[in-house]
Structure 1
Amino acid sequence: MENKKALDIVVFPWLAFGHMIPFLELSKHLAKKGHHISYVSTPRNLERLLPKIPKNLLPFIKLVPIPLPRDGVLPPKAEASSDMPFDDVELLKKAYDGLKEPLASILEGATPIDWIIYDYPCYWLPPIADRLGVRKAFLSLMNGWSSASFGPSSNMIKDGAGTWSKPESLTGRLEWVPFQNNVVYRFHEAKKSLSAARKNASGVSDMFRGGCSVCDCDVFAIRSSRELEAEYLQLLEKLHRKPVVPVGLLPTSVDEDQMANSDTWHSIKDWLDKHTNESVVYAALGSELGPSQDVVNALALGLELSRLPFFWALRNHAGRPQELPDGFKKQTRDQGLVWTSWVPQAQILSHNSVGAFLTHCGWSSIIEGLQFGKPLIMLPFVLDQGLNARVMEAKKVGFEIPRNNQDGSFDKNSVAQSLKVMCEDVFGKIYRDEAKKMSRMVADENLHNQYIEEFEAYLYRNRPISEA
């Protein structure tokens, strides 16, 4: 590290794989530069993440298990949000809050900690870190336009200060955004997002958690880039009165060596290899929110009606099993494949036969899709997903399946028509071409490494004074 002292950094993500994996990606980048990372999570989560750490980085990344408190409410072995129904995730946040004392013990261990990089639910962490002289980096896995939708952190601590009081308030232009934009919720998205943000079986709303986490941090790190949204990053600094440091998009690295020994990938690749370039629609709606049976039915019938080849990653979510329409598998056996367990999404999206990505518009999924130049067929449901869809549509890299604005419903015809336009129509070529253009930025390793270097330099310059 050219005579620079290695930093000791604790990393503590929320218990969702959409959070744990990007936090791990950032940890790997910092470990490559010689810093010592203590990655803290529950034992089962760490077991599931261990294969994602290259052997050469194992001396620099220490996996630190802390058992999740059990009160008889959580399902057996549930340690991540994907292990339980979406509506019960607040119970996981309550258990997460029970990690306060074990985490404090880690921070006050024998080796002085320079920084902790933490996630939005951890509202109770900053006072502990301050007491121990540890600097605090809040890492937002939402982009700037989504983060800005919550307004100033002071408003969030006041539980939205009126803006998040009713769905209608989220469907119009936000008063604190000074420039013209169309990044607003549809009514059905606002209603669901408002409900999700205010659920408090844990006793603490997400608005309060996020507000305190941002208000009390030393630096607001964010999974974004200036090439994508410079004006929103500047706005966040004004809203929160904190330095905002983008860490880049943390694009996924495809580990060919690891996949070489994967029976799952071999089976999927064999199926994809039988199809011509850019002919297959890859459909996946994320690991967090299980789609309703109505959504599954409309998607299934729409995929069938399109007559396009499809690979559908339809995971069985805890507490919400989905059933395919009667006869669907038989009728589409020569057209598509439904996979009901884990899939290597990045490898699938990187395959030449995949021509479009039907997605729920989670930020990680959008980044993966555009990294490999796949245009987006968008079906957002809750939280930042709808806002992401508005921006991607404006950038002409994807368009939304038409839906009822009030209840979010759609039918097979909407699905089939959207797929055929994107994959076969001249109009869809605009989106296919723009997605390929954007992939040059999203997949640019040198660009995103520069962001990591800027973040590393910030952490080093602003390490605790006693270590300076």
Structure 2
Amino acid sequence: MEGESHGEVEAAAKPHFVVIPFMEQGHMIPMVDMARLLAQRGALVSFITTPVNAARIRPIIDHSLKSGSTIRFVELRFPAAEAGLPEGCENFDLIKSDELIKPFIESASLMADQIELHLRQRTPAPDCMISDSLQYWTAELSQRLGIPRVIFHGPSCFYLFCALKIKREKIFDGIAVDDSKRFPIPDLPQTIEIMKGHVRRMADSPGWEKLRDQVNLAEETAAGVVLNTYEELEPWYIEAYRKAIGKDVWPIGPLSLYKEADVGSRAARGRASSIDTEILLRWLATKKQSSVIYVSFGSICRNSRRHLIEIGRGLKASNVAFIWVVKEVEVLEEWLKGFEQRSTEEKGLVIRGWAPQTVILSHPAVGGFVTHCGWNSVLEAISVGVPMVTWPRFGDQFLNERLVVDVLRIGVSVGATKVQKFVPLEKREEEEEEEDEAAVKRDDVARAVVSLMEGGEEGEERRVRARDLREKAVRAMAEGGSSSENLKNFVIKYASHLRVIDPYV
């Protein structure tokens, strides 16, 4: 290869994967971890992103460049203006109006030509594309490039199989969305009952039919599915899902256990932390083992002022030490100041904004997690053996709650049944004026927290099960474990010609 640099020659000897995430924190974070694992397995990775999203993971990008990682973080212009979006609206959590949700999802398709041009100008040619399930337009792009395309699904396999079962069995046909009756999902190894509203997706709304059909078709034509889970966590559901879709299913998680994830890199996952990590760790060091409960509801879920007050008062009533992450600071800043004074820093720590979640959950002082049941959060807790108080809001979260509480039996439900529609942060105060009362009360919060943290024999059994799942997760990601082998075999399958693909052999 005369005229080529040593780096180019070396890159040409590696299988090349193109990773295209959906631009939302819960979707991007695990795909960044996946890209690092692929590079660790000897692959070249082109990770497609935009300037705003690249800024959020800048420490990871900088570390990759310094370490000689084979990940190329490709920053392309996001066509906000062409899509009718405000300039800089490059991530789902930056959407300021619910009318812009659908245009935002569709807007990424306008990047297809940029991506194709970039990939055709670089060597080696890509061997495989891994795209988020919402990036439906990558089906056509992969055809133009002549490469196989694999879907990355963010939710649990339990959710994916149950949702597929509900669709194929037409369980909710003729049932009103607001019907509060629970219906069983047939032919499962556990009794799982769910309300229609708890599995209704945004894509089921009027006006979304074309987009929904495009996403479904793109999934049907994909070569396989990559999942952020592990075989030992949901074995029955993974096997049932494989049979149901008739394709390869590759569980390669928990991705949060990426082996180079020291405290610094764990803190860098997602957006920049709103608290100094050293201050946080010093506070946690003063607490007894498993005595602190961590409270956070992800990057998208929004709490009204009324709900925030109920959460705070419920935490205080529980008399359990806590770390509480509050994104919606502007709706009750004065109340929060008074709450902190009454709670004292010794008992509780309030983090305004973004918290280094994996750092917190992995600390020995943390013994419980109040979560919205987003799959990343659930899996991060499972990965470190922390049981959960479940408080789902929408999307896959209600079924994830059933997995945590009914199947894995490592959680206590707060009792939430109301589905929360997505409301941009700027509209939250308008929305709360329509609420007569909070759906979940302080007594519900206190009861669930006390039950989880001081649950006697039942609580100890939950902790034993959580620790067992943690050990299985660690083994799955270790060399020779189920997820490690799945990733290795996935890379082997999609390498188009003979290459050195496994530095561990």
Note if contact 1:182-1:390 (Cα within 8 Å) is conserved in structure 2.
Answer: no
Question: 1:276 corresponds to which residue?
Answer: 288
Identity within the alignment, %:
23
With the length of structure 2 as denominator, give the TM-score of the two structures: 0.80
Q: Partners of 1:165 and 1:81 in 2: how far apart?
A: 31
Give the 3-state SS of the residue equivalent to 1:333 in structure 2: helix
- Write out per-residue CA displacement over residues 235-286 of structure 1, whole angstroms, 9 at most, x where no aligned residue: 2223222222222321335423558999710121122222222211110000
CA displacement at 1:136 relative to structure 2: 0.8
CA displacement at 1:404 relative to structure 2: 5.2
CA displacement at 1:17 relative to structure 2: 1.4
Task: Say if 2:19 is the partner of 1:19.
Answer: no
Larger mean Cα displacement after TM superposition, 374-383 or 401-410: 401-410
Note if contact 2:23-2:90 (Cα within 8 Å) is conserved in structure 1.
Answer: yes
Q: Partners of 2:20 and 2:356 in 1: how far apart?
A: 24
Question: 1:451 corresponds to which residue?
Answer: 483
Q: Provide closer, same or farther for how the CA distance between residues 194 and 99 of structure 1 changes in structure 2, counting only shifts above 3 A.
A: same
CA displacement at 1:208 relative to structure 2: 2.9
Q: Provide closer, same or farther for how the CA distance between residues 433 and 255 of structure 1 changes in structure 2, counting only shifts above 3 A.
A: same
Which of 323, 342, 352 is residue 331 of structure 1 equivalent to?
A: 342
Question: 2:141 corresponds to which residue?
Answer: 128
User: Residue type of the partner of 1:51?
Assistant: P
User: Residue type of the partner of 1:70?
Assistant: A
Q: Provide closer, same or farther for how the CA distance between residues 76 and 329 of structure 1 changes in structure 2, counting only shifts above 3 A.
A: farther
Question: 2:314 corresponds to which residue?
Answer: 302
Q: Provide closer, same or farther for how the CA distance between residues 164 and 133 of structure 1 changes in structure 2, counting only shifts above 3 A.
A: farther
- Write out per-residue CA displacement over residues 67-123 of structure 1, whole angstroms, 9 at most, x where no aligned residue: 111238534522112223583433321322222222232343343110010011111
Task: Say if 2:62 is the partner of 1:62.
Answer: no
Question: 1:80 corresponds to which residue?
Answer: 91
Give the 3-state SS of the residue equivalent to 1:329 in structure 2: helix
Task: Say if 2:189 is the partner of 1:180.
Answer: yes
CA displacement at 1:323 relative to structure 2: 5.3
CA displacement at 1:448 relative to structure 2: 7.9
User: Residue type of the partner of 1:454?
Assistant: N
CA displacement at 1:462 relative to structure 2: 4.1
Note if contact 1:140-1:220 (Cα within 8 Å) is conserved in structure 2.
Answer: yes
Q: Provide closer, same or farther for how the CA distance between residues 457 and 97 of structure 1 changes in structure 2, counting only shifts above 3 A.
A: same
Task: Say if 2:132 is the partner of 1:119.
Answer: yes
CA displacement at 1:389 relative to structure 2: 1.1
Note if contact 1:145-1:183 (Cα within 8 Å) is conserved in structure 2.
Answer: no
Question: 1:137 corresponds to which residue?
Answer: 150
Note if contact 1:360-1:381 (Cα within 8 Å) is conserved in structure 2.
Answer: yes
Note if contact 1:91-1:202 (Cα within 8 Å) is conserved in structure 2.
Answer: no
CA displacement at 1:376 relative to structure 2: 0.5
CA displacement at 1:347 relative to structure 2: 0.9
Note if contact 1:259-1:265 (Cα within 8 Å) is conserved in structure 2.
Answer: no
Larger mean Cα displacement after TM superposition, 98-107 or 35-44: 98-107
Length, aligned pairs only:
455
Give the 3-state SS of the residue equivalent to 2:232 in structure 1: helix
Task: Say if 2:438 is the partner of 1:400.
Answer: no
CA displacement at 1:29 relative to structure 2: 0.9
Note if contact 1:133-1:464 (Cα within 8 Å) is conserved in structure 2.
Answer: no
User: Quick one: higher RCO (CA 8 Å, sep 6+), 1 or 2?
Assistant: 2
Note if contact 1:279-1:423 (Cα within 8 Å) is conserved in structure 2.
Answer: yes
Which of 229, 237, 243 is residue 234 of structure 2 equivalent to?
A: 229
Q: Partners of 1:291 and 1:369 in 2: how far apart?
A: 22
Which of 204, 224, 238 is residue 243 of structure 2 equivalent to?
A: 238
Question: 1:460 corresponds to which residue?
Answer: 492
Task: Say if 2:162 is the partner of 1:149.
Answer: yes
Which of 430, 443, 446 is residue 416 of structure 1 equivalent to?
A: 446
Question: 1:215 corresponds to which residue?
Answer: 220
Q: Partners of 1:241 and 1:154 in 2: how far apart?
A: 17
Give the 3-state SS of the residue equivalent to 2:104 in structure 1: helix
Q: Provide closer, same or farther for how the CA distance between residues 200 and 69 of structure 1 changes in structure 2, counting only shifts above 3 A.
A: farther
Q: Provide closer, same or farther for how the CA distance between residues 405 and 8 of structure 1 changes in structure 2, counting only shifts above 3 A.
A: closer
Which of 110, 116, 125 is residue 98 of structure 1 equivalent to?
A: 110
Give the 3-state SS of the residue equivalent to 1:287 in structure 2: coil
Q: Provide closer, same or farther for how the CA distance between residues 271 and 153 of structure 1 changes in structure 2, counting only shifts above 3 A.
A: same
- Write out per-residue CA displacement over residues 271-303 of structure 1, whole angstroms, 9 at most, x where no aligned residue: 222222221111000012222333222211111
Task: Say if 2:371 is the partner of 1:359.
Answer: yes
Q: Partners of 1:258 and 1:27 in 2: how far apart?
A: 14
Gaps of 5+ in 1: none
User: Residue type of the partner of 2:92?
Assistant: S
What is the aligned-residue RMSD (CA, Å)?
A: 3.4
User: Residue type of the partner of 2:94?
Assistant: D
Note if contact 1:91-1:201 (Cα within 8 Å) is conserved in structure 2.
Answer: no
Which of 5, 8, 16 is residue 8 of structure 1 equivalent to?
A: 16
- Write out per-residue CA displacement over residues 407-447 of structure 1, whole angstroms, 9 at most, x where no aligned residue: 99221011111111211231322222221222111233316
Note if contact 2:119-2:126 (Cα within 8 Å) is conserved in structure 1.
Answer: yes
Question: 1:342 corresponds to which residue?
Answer: 354
Q: Partners of 1:152 and 1:108 in 2: how far apart?
A: 40
